[in-house]
């Protein structure tokens, strides 16, 4: 075996190995998800959060996506409501949110002629009025 042919084989092996590692995988672009708020308990456990995905604000609680809206003010108010519920149950809560979420929520409330607190109060009243009434239970002794 000549030195030249061995060198060629080695060069070809290196080239083939390089080509295998340099192959690009075509990935379809996924929607980007940006985290904007988190709700944690005193132990640091994540209880909920808000993310922005494809122009929509998405609310997650207990590891599940529970809602989405184009309204930053509505989603922020809902996360604050969840925080208040945890606090009323005796938990210590830390709620942090991004400047972008805060600014979008304030701008949305201002566009409606309200402060963010007024917007949240109005949303709370609306949620209380829309609470479905449990159907009346039939009286088993009436049959």
User: Which pLDDT tens digit goes with each residue over 34-77?
Assistant: 899 999 998 999 999 999 988 899 999 888 888 888 999 999 99
Task: Report residue 137's pLDDT band, with 50, 70 and 90 as the boundaries.
Answer: very low
Give dist(CA 110, CA 73) in Å, integer.
10
Give dist(CA 3, CA 65) in Å, integer.
64
Alpha helices in the chain (DSSP H): 3-22, 72-88, 99-111, 116-129
Give dist(CA 80, CA 76) in Å, integer.
6
Structure tokens that stand for 52 in this block:
């922005």
- Which percentage of the chain shows pLDDT scores above 90? 45
pLDDT on residue 3: 66
Asked if pLDDT for residue 111 goes beyond 90, the answer is yes
Q: Among 50, 52, 60, which residue's Cα sits nearest to residue 32? A: 52
Question: 96: which residues sit within 8 A by CB, 6+ positions away?
Answer: 37, 38, 40
**Sequence spans of domains, the chain:** 33-128
Residue with the larger pLDDT of the pair 22 and 92: 92
- Contact by Cβ (8 Å): 79, 95: yes
């Amino acid at each position: 075996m000549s030195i030249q042919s061995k060198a060629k084989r080695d060069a070809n092996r290196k080239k083939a190995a390089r080509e295998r590692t340099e192959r690009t995988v075509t990935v379809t672009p996924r929607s980007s998800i940006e985290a904007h708020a988190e709700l944690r308990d005193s132990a640091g456990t994540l209880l909920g959060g808000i993310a922005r995905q494809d122009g929509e604000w998405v609310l997650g609680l207990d590891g599940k996506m529970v809602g989405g809206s184009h309204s930053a003010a509505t989603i922020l108010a809902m996360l604050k409501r969840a925080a208040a519920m945890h606090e009323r149950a005796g938990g210590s809560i830390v709620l942090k949110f991004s400047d972008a979420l805060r600014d979008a929520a304030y701008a949305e409330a201002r566009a409606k002629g309200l402060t963010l607190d007024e917007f949240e109060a109005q949303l709370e009243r609306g949620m209380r009025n829309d609470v479905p009434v449990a159907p009346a239970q039939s009286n088993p002794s009436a049959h």
